[in-house]
Amino acid sequence: QKEVEQNSGPLSVPEGAIASLNCTYSDRGSQSFFWYRQYSGKSPELIMSIYSNGDKEDGRFTAQLNKASQYVSLLIRDSQPSDSATYLCAGGRNTGNQFYFGTGTSLTVIP
C-alpha cells in the first residue's frame, strides 16, 4: 500500500501560469506534510511544510492541506522556467521515522 501518492505527470504549463501539484495520503494519523523540489541530478530541496488544515503561502508557492480528504496540494503562481523540476510530496506522523515520500511529479514550464 502506497502511503503517499502523486500523479507522476509529466505536467507542462506555460510561463506565467499557475502549476497545480496534487498528493493524497493513506495514513489518517499523518499530521506533517512537506513539498520538496528536486532538479535533475540534484538532491531534494525543502520548499514548503504544512501541518494544519488550510492554506499556507510563501512567495509564489501555496500549500494546501485537507485532512478530511487526505489531500495535499502545491500551487506555483507565475510559473518560471526555473521551476521546471520534479516535486516530491512527503508526509507522516509526528516523528521522522514515520515519514513517506511520493514518487514525484515532473513539472516543465514552457517559456
Q: Computed over its alpha carbons, how large is the radius of gyration of the chain?
A: 13
- Among 2, 4, 9, residue whose Cα is nearest residue 24: 4
Q: 79 or 107, CB closer to other proteins?
A: 107
Residue 31 engages other proteins in binding (rule: CB under 8 A): yes
Q: 104, 88 in Cβ contact below 8 A?
A: yes
- Among 30, 1, 4, residue whose Cα is nearest residue 104: 4
Judged by CB under 8 A, the stretch of 14-22, 31-39, 53-61, 70-78 that binds other proteins is: 31-39
Judged by CB under 8 A, the stretch of 14-22, 38-46, 54-62, 70-78 that binds other proteins is: 38-46
Among 72, 102, 105, 107, binds other proteins (CB under 8 A): 102
Please give the residues from 41 up to 70 whose contact with other proteins meets the rule CB under 8 A. Answer: 42-46, 49, 51
Q: 7, 22 in Cβ contact below 8 A?
A: yes
